[in-house]
Amino acid sequence: MPWENLLPDRQPFYVGSWVYVFGVVTIAALVWVVLSGVVLAAFGPQWWHLSSAGRFFNSLHFWSVQVFFVFMVLHLWGQYFMASWREGRAPTWMIGVVTFAVSIVAAFTGYLSQQNFDAQYIAMNAKDAVNATGVGGFFNVLNFGQMYGLHVMLLPIAIITLVFLHIVQVRMKGVVPPLGHEVKPAVTWELRKK
């Protein structure tokens, strides 16, 4: 796909339902998750417990995560019932589901990094499941430093990379046509070229 066609200026007519908005809102919420998280990380993990400004940014982070997940789940189920993996779009679906799974791990490490009672008790509860799988010695949910590092650096990089790959797949394969009306893949940049 040429760079000049990275952003679409036309879409097939059937792209006309609110279901298509769920994915865009998920990305929008992810932007607010990252930005509010950057502010929280810049001031350190204690800041939000000690200042009203910190508490406000934590609240922004908290609620943007909630919005992110609500719309990601709506997007996932919407795409499922549209059978969006048809006609060569399986990689798009698979990257999306992996993104969902990695986002759950990222959110989990975020909850563990809160440094409050919820974080404390979730860690105590979760350790048995993590230890049972044999990874507890390497992914120690009782180790705040490890969980915080994963939450603010490695997992966000993974999510942003996966979301980028997901969007590139959507652009390369085009939007899936309606069930029962399959046509040649509606790759809009190719349509535009002709």
Question: Which of the residues 58 through 97 are near other proteins (CB under 8 A)?
Answer: 58-64, 66-67, 69, 73, 78, 80-83, 85-86, 89-90, 93-94, 97
CB 30 within 8 A of CB 99: no
Examine residue 25 and tell whether it contacts other proteins (CB under 8 A): yes
- 29/23 Cα distance (integer angstroms): 10
Tell which residue, 7, 144, 17, has the closest CA to residue 79: 17
CB 25 within 8 A of CB 67: yes
Work out the burial of residue 72: count CB atoms within 10 Å of its CB; fewer than 13 is exposed, 13-18 middle, 19 or more buried.
buried
Q: Give Cα 164 distance to the centre of its chain.
A: 10
Min separation Cβ 27 and other proteins, Å:
7
> Using the rule CB under 8 A, which residue among 5, 32, 39, 43 binds other proteins?
32
How many residues touch other proteins under the rule CB under 8 A: the total is 93
Name which of residues 118 to 157 contact other proteins (CB under 8 A). Answer: 118-126, 128-129, 131-138, 140, 142-146, 148
Name which of residues 156 to 185 contact other proteins (CB under 8 A). Answer: 178-179, 181, 183
Which of 161/190 has CB closer to other proteins?
190
Residue type, 174: G
